[in-house]
Structure 1
């Protein structure tokens, strides 16, 4: 449980588009849950709109997108745009998968948080989310 919030951090984990490989997303979801977070896993083949709507309905602190399809330069900007449109500006958008470093920098410039490649230690991801939420969602 997050000391800053006096409640568990709520994280939505999603797979967007036609990317059908979800083992990594399930590993992340389980690790976040084991760290004391409440995790909502949306399953495969979500649209950016579905992800943001679920985040609003579930009142999450963070959205984690797992992407291996190469569509990251389309998916993340679309999700950011919908989040801004729906005034969901105090929620972390993070993720991981196969994302080249030059694309990571471009995505972070538009407001995407940390992006983690395969093999990142789970403790690194958990700490990142906990620290971000403590700094930005302390209410």
Structure 2
């Protein structure tokens, strides 16, 4: 399989007032263990903070962990801010408690795969690597 000449850069973000970050930390560690460069924003980020950090850090992907139920507000806001800043080649993915019908609606606006709790971390690592190889090969 083709490889990048550099590590994949991923921003892992917790948006809103949701204070449960164990899953985000597990994902961040799994991505780092797979050789990716990971920037973890910490808790209580706004969509603006996440997009600005992603732009400053020149990431390939943004992974949003959300358990609060605000996914139908948070993801569209992130997508719109990214479009405003010309970040059309950055993956927005994530996970948390998101009903299937909401996942489908979010995919239609440009959000990538969304992973429910309990997803094998290898699945997430492979998804991000494959996406980056296809869309950000530079």
Question: Which residue does 1:109 correspond to in 2?
Answer: 108
Alignment of 1:23-42 (within 5 A): 23-42=22-41
Structure 1 consecutive aligned stretches of length 4 or more whose deviation exceeds 3 Å: none
* RMSD over equivalenced CA pairs, Å: 1.0
Number of positions where the alignment pairs a residue of Structure 1 with one of Structure 2: 138
In the alignment, is the contact (CA less than 8 A) between 1:5 and 1:137 conserved in 2? no
**Offset of 1:5 from its aligned partner?**
2.3
- Structure 1 gap segments, 5+ residues each: none
Deviations 1:65-119 (A, max 9, x none): 0000000000000000000000011000000000000000000000000000000
Question: Which residue does 1:61 correspond to in 2?
Answer: 60
Question: Which residue does 2:136 correspond to in 1?
Answer: 137
Question: Which residue does 1:100 correspond to in 2?
Answer: 99
| TM-score between both structures, scaled by the size of structure 2 | 0.98
Counterparts of 1:85 and 1:20, CA distance in 2: 28
Counterparts of 1:92 and 1:8, CA distance in 2: 15
| TM-score between both structures, scaled by the size of structure 1 | 0.97
